[in-house]
């Protein structure tokens, strides 16, 4: 599903260059649930953004389903992202002027193949994540963990084959976090979705098939948790 080779990311800052990623190689197979863990600042969000085609590496290639996305232009990337990738951002990136329902319905309205009825699908997803009575709230009228769950619902809107989640439970209590994990496991069981989760939550990481350990921009360990 995902093949990454020699991924480096250099971020110039004033006189310095920050080496956010220093040559990362990674293969993720279709239908796997992968955890990515590592210290704060180790490059997890940067790596996820590159895998998701939201950012380009300084060096290296990324292939999604065998297609090299590293040299694509913005239009091609936008199409791949809309059709194939659901992204849960570390700080949600919800549209502040839209309600929870409108935020989740938006990607469905943009999809080329409209498989779902936008508002109905948005309502179902938000209800399944515990927010049936917050549909008409805008992000500023929601708690931190409620915003996070709207961001999760939005990423699931088009039922993408690849789901990239950056700290999806950071603002959730144990029960809400367990409900999110259960929703992800159910999607994977039903649709074979490939799920990559960056997390500091050990409980969540322990449910992955494999956990990739990132330290200071390098992948230092690929830990298999479950027998194949």
Report the interface residues with ligand ATP, using CB under 6 A.
11, 13, 18, 20, 38, 40-46, 90, 134, 137, 140-146, 171
Return the DSSP state at 24.
E
Query: Which span sits near a second copy by CB under 8 A: 53-61, 146-154, 157-165, 220-228?
Result: 146-154
- Whole-number Å distance between alpha carbons of 22 and 156: 31
152 binds, among a second copy, ligand ATP, Mg ion, none (CB under 5 to 8 A by kind): none
Shortest distance in whole angstroms from residue 58 CB to a second copy:
16
Note whether 144 binds Mg ion by CB under 5 A. Answer: yes
Q: In what order do the strands lie in the sheet with 16-28?
A: 16-28, 2-13, 59-64, 67-68
Determine contact, residues 58/19, Cβ cutoff 8 Å: no
User: Which residues lie closer than 8 Å to 70 by C-beta, 6 or more apart?
Assistant: 56, 57, 60, 61, 62
Query: Counting Cβ atoms within 10 Å, is residue 165 exposed (0-12), middle (13-18) or buried (19+)?
Result: buried
Please spell the DSSP secondary structure of 66-117, one letter per residue: TEE-TT--HHHHHHHHHHHEEEE-TT----TTS-HHHHHHHHHHH-SS--S-
Note whether 206 binds a second copy by CB under 8 A. Answer: no
Shortest distance in whole angstroms from residue 16 CB to ligand ATP:
8
227 binds, among Mg ion, ligand ATP, a second copy, none (CB under 5 to 8 A by kind): none
The first and second tokens of residue 211, run together, are: 């956990």
Note whether 143 binds a second copy by CB under 8 A. Answer: yes
Shortest distance in whole angstroms from residue 169 CB to a second copy:
8
Among residues 79, 141, 221, 223, the one that binds a second copy under rule CB under 8 A: 141
Note whether 123 binds a second copy by CB under 8 A. Answer: no
Give, as ranges, the residues between 60 and 99 that touch a second copy (CB under 8 A).
90-91
**Distance between terminal CA atoms of the chain?**
17
What is the contact surface with a second copy in residues (CB under 8 A)? 11, 13-14, 18, 37-41, 44-45, 90-91, 130, 134, 136-137, 141-146, 148-149, 167, 170-177, 200, 202
């Amino acid at each position: 599903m995902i093949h990454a080779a020699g991924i480096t990311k250099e971020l110039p800052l004033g006189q310095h260059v920050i080496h956010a990623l220093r040559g990362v190689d990674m293969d993720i197979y279709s239908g796997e649930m992968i955890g990515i863990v590592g210290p704060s600042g180790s490059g997890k969000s940067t790596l996820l953004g590159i895998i998701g085609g939201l950012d380009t590496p300084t060096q290296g290639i990324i292939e999604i389903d065998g297609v090299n996305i590293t040299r694509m232009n913005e239009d091609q990337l936008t199409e791949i992202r809309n059709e194939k990738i659901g992204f849960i951002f570390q700080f949600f990136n919800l549209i502040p002027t839209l309600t929870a329902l409108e935020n989740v319905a938006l990607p469905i309205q943009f999809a080329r193949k409209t498989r779902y009825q936008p508002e109905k699908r948005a309502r179902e997803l938000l209800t399944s994540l515990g927010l049936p009575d917050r549909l008409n709230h805008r992000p500023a009228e929601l708690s931190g963990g409620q915003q996070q769950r709207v961001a999760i619902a939005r990423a699931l809107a088009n039922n993408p084959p690849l789901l990239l989640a950056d700290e999806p439970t950071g603002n959730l209590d144990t029960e809400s976090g367990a409900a999110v994990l259960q929703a992800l496991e159910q999607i994977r069981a039903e649709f074979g979705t490939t799920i990559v989760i960056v997390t500091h939550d050990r409980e969540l990481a322990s449910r992955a098939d494999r956990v990739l350990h990132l330290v200071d921009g390098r992948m230092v360990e690929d830990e298999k948790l479950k027998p194949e």
